[in-house]
Amino acid sequence: MKETIIPIGPYHPLQEEPEFFTLTVEGERVVDIDVRVGYNHRGIEKLSEMKTFDQSTFVIERICGICSTSHPFAYTRALEDIISMGVPRRARYIRTIIAEGERIHSHLLWLGLAGHFLGYKTVYMWAWKLREEILDVMEMLSGNRNNYAMFKPGGVRRDIKAADLPVALGKLDSIIPTLEMLRKAVLEDPVLHARTQGIGVLSKQDAIDFSALGPTARASGVARDVRKDCPYGAYDEVEWDMIVTANGDVFDKLVVRIGEVFESVRIMKACLLNLPRGEIDAGIADIPPGEGIGHIEAPRGETFHYVRSDGTNRPVRHKVRAPTFMNLPTFKTTVKGATLSDATIILAAIDPCYCCTERMAVRDPEGRTLGDGYDLIRLSQEKTARIKRKMGNK
């Protein structure tokens, strides 16, 4: 059969970052995929090297709006690694609270978008409505909905007020029943089972070979989590479980992410309840010459920062590796052999800063346009409607 190449991207009206996929399809089957990134390049590493250590914290917060805690967290840990110093206990707890709040809102955001791609607008709206509650908590604790600016080398910038603790705990308690309902609605829905089970399978061996990270790896049975393997913050002082599933399909990624939301609520509550008293900032004056690494578990996987200092007030080299960079190549195995209508959710399943389906155009070899990006989402939504009808008839 003749191969057709489908360019997806780089722009999409509903979504976030520009990225460019080239899907090669034979009929309805996807046979190959190529990813091109770089539409979002802003020269952050160079910018960070132009600024002082303190100023850099704010720049790298803007690497990603959803991971606006993970990057400063890894960066400050890299600086603390250069000095080889600890952080006050209260600061570690506050860092953990902010990081987990971010994980909850990031996973809910993904869940909503996954629902949208599958044609479940209800899940989309419910998940995003629930996410607002968490953003309220974060706004109360840090002063902003997304860019928290809580981190500084050696500690945190702001303290959590004692008066805010019961309010935050109350909000966290109040979202649990809704979360529970959302979990039931998503995980026990037969249509969703039909759409996601056995789709986009990433085997355990492939996950290891591709060095997949975060929920993508954990859904494939690779029990890898920086929070457990190399504890930082307060993760070794509170009780929580790593969620690992075996199958590696899209459904398992759903299970892992929803499970992690519950674990994050648990961690956040434990930290808020046991928030120790004391200093929040160790007060770093100078960074001595040397190099340091910092790695933490972001919502999408391990974020890694490398910083080299020559004793001045600026980093000489700052290297950032974000988790999506490692997870993107897994498309090479997961998308191959899937139908075009499943490609949308498979590409979304690793929670990349996924985007761009809209500017895609389906072209036949003569260059005639057959459809655009919305057709891809429509195909996916129609498949769900078809399955729904079929199940209704039975």
Partner 1 sequence: MDIRLKALLKSLWVYHLSTGSCNNCDIEVLDCLTPRYDIERFGMLPAGSIKHADLLLITGSCNRQSVARMKRLYEQVPRPCFVVAIGECALSRGMFIHSYNCPQPLDRIIPVDVYIPGCPPKPEAIIAGMVKLLEKVKNK
389 is written with which tokens? 């009808």
One of 159, 372, 387, 388 touching partner 1 (CB under 8 A): 372
Q: What is the DSSP letter of 287?
A: P
**Strand, helix or coil for residue 91:** helix
Instruction: CB nearer to partner 1: give 125 or 385.
Output: 125
Instruction: CB nearer to partner 1: give 128 or 325.
Output: 128
Region of 60-68, 80-88, 169-177, 252-260 interacting with partner 1 (CB under 8 A): 60-68
- Least distance CB 103 / partner 1 (angstroms): 15
One of 5, 22, 32, 58 touching partner 1 (CB under 8 A): 58
- Least distance CB 10 / partner 1 (angstroms): 7
Binding track over 151-170 against partner 1, x by CB under 8 A: --------------------
Region of 5-13, 72-80, 179-187, 200-208 interacting with partner 1 (CB under 8 A): 5-13
Closest by CA to 318, choosing from 129, 68, 51, 100, is 51
Burial of 370 (0-12, 13-18, 19+ CB in 10 A): exposed
Instruction: CB nearer to partner 1: give 271 or 353.
Output: 353
Instruction: CB nearer to partner 1: give 202 or 343.
Output: 343
- Least distance CB 338 / partner 1 (angstroms): 23
DSSP string, 288-356: PSEEEEEEEEETTEEEEEEEEE-SSSSEEEEEEE-HHHHHGGGHHHHTTT-BHHHHHHHHHHT--S---
Angle subtended at Cα 83 by Cα 44 and Cα 319, rounded to the nearest 5 degrees: 20
Site membership for partner 1, residue 262 (CB under 8 A): no
Closest by CA to 292, choosing from 326, 272, 316, is 316
Binding track over 271-300 against partner 1, x by CB under 8 A: ------------------------------
Burial of 389 (0-12, 13-18, 19+ CB in 10 A): exposed
Provide, for the chain, the percentages of residues in helix, strand and coil under a 3-state DSSP scheme, each rounded to the nearest 5: 50, 15, 35
Instruction: CB nearer to partner 1: give 74 or 83.
Output: 74
Site membership for partner 1, residue 390 (CB under 8 A): no
Binding track over 96-125 against partner 1, x by CB under 8 A: -------------x--x-----------xx
DSSP string, 112-164: HHHHHHHT-HHHHHHHHHHHHHHHHHHHHHHSSSS----EETTEESSPPPTTH
All residues at 6 or more sequence positions from 42 whose CB lies less than 8 Å from its CB, including other chains: none
Binding track over 321-360 against partner 1, x by CB under 8 A: --------------------------------x-x--x--
Question: Distance (Å, rounded) from C-alpha 382 to C-alpha 241?
Answer: 37
Tokens 């890894």 belong to 74
One of 145, 317, 386, 389 touching partner 1 (CB under 8 A): 145
Instruction: CB nearer to partner 1: give 220 or 381.
Output: 381
Site membership for partner 1, residue 147 (CB under 8 A): yes
Question: Distance (Å, rounded) from C-alpha 276 to C-alpha 24?
Answer: 55
- Contacts to partner 1 by CB under 8 A: 10-11, 13-18, 38-44, 46-47, 50, 58-59, 62-66, 68, 109, 112, 124-125, 128-129, 132, 145-147, 353, 355, 358, 372-374
